[in-house]
Amino acid sequence: MFARHDLVWLTSRGWQRVRSGAPQAALPALDRWRDGGWPAVVRRTEAGMLPGEVAIGFPLPPRPEDGGKLKFGCAVEMSDIGRRTRALPLVGALDAVPAQWREGLEALERQAADAGVSLSVYGSVALAALTGQYYLTPLSDIDVLLQPQTRRQLMVGLDLLSWHAGILPLDGEVVFPDGRAVAWKELRAAFAGAPGTRVLTKGLDRIALVLPEALMATLEEEHG
């Protein structure tokens, strides 16, 4: 039901639960998050969580004084979640990125849409778009999620990301239909590497090394 990078908006009871377990130093930032109506981000399940709980995180913006980041994570019950969406579509973040990235990202989004390829964003770009807070620096990456349903979409998406990575600081993951994700650069390198090369996959519940063929098997074939 839930996947890493999903966005969730908490109920009043959910916020009470979050605040009760948060360190005192994080409360002002969390209260601002709550008052802004911004979502938490679903993260990987941790050991010891109870059935029906969802692991979430609040990647708070860098501190102005030293650039350090405070990340607060916790678990909430499903009933504490009022609304959920998948990761932010790339098109929804275009207005939040620096001017020097916008033309390239617009071209990437347009070409992906024309090819029927789904691209979303997470990390600093998504958080800047969702909250309007300061996240992006000249050293920031653009974390993109490629979410193919077919083998053609995967290969077209990888080609697009690889080409645009020559002019944009693209990073991110391919998320397969079963929820497992792998860094798109690692997957592309595995395709070009020696047979038997495994890739590191991340799911909601576990991390594992698998053969790319096992991931490809989750995709549909397209027939002309």
Provide the annotated active-site residues: 141, 143
Q: Is residue 80 classed as helix, strand or coil in its secondary structure?
A: helix
CA distance 147 to 71: 26
State the DSSP code for 136.
Answer: -
Give pairs for 25-31: CB < 8 Å, separation 24+: 25/70, 26/58, 26/60, 26/70, 26/72, 29/58, 29/60, 29/70, 30/58, 30/60, 30/72
User: Cβ–Cβ contacts within 10 Å for residue 112, how many?
Assistant: 22
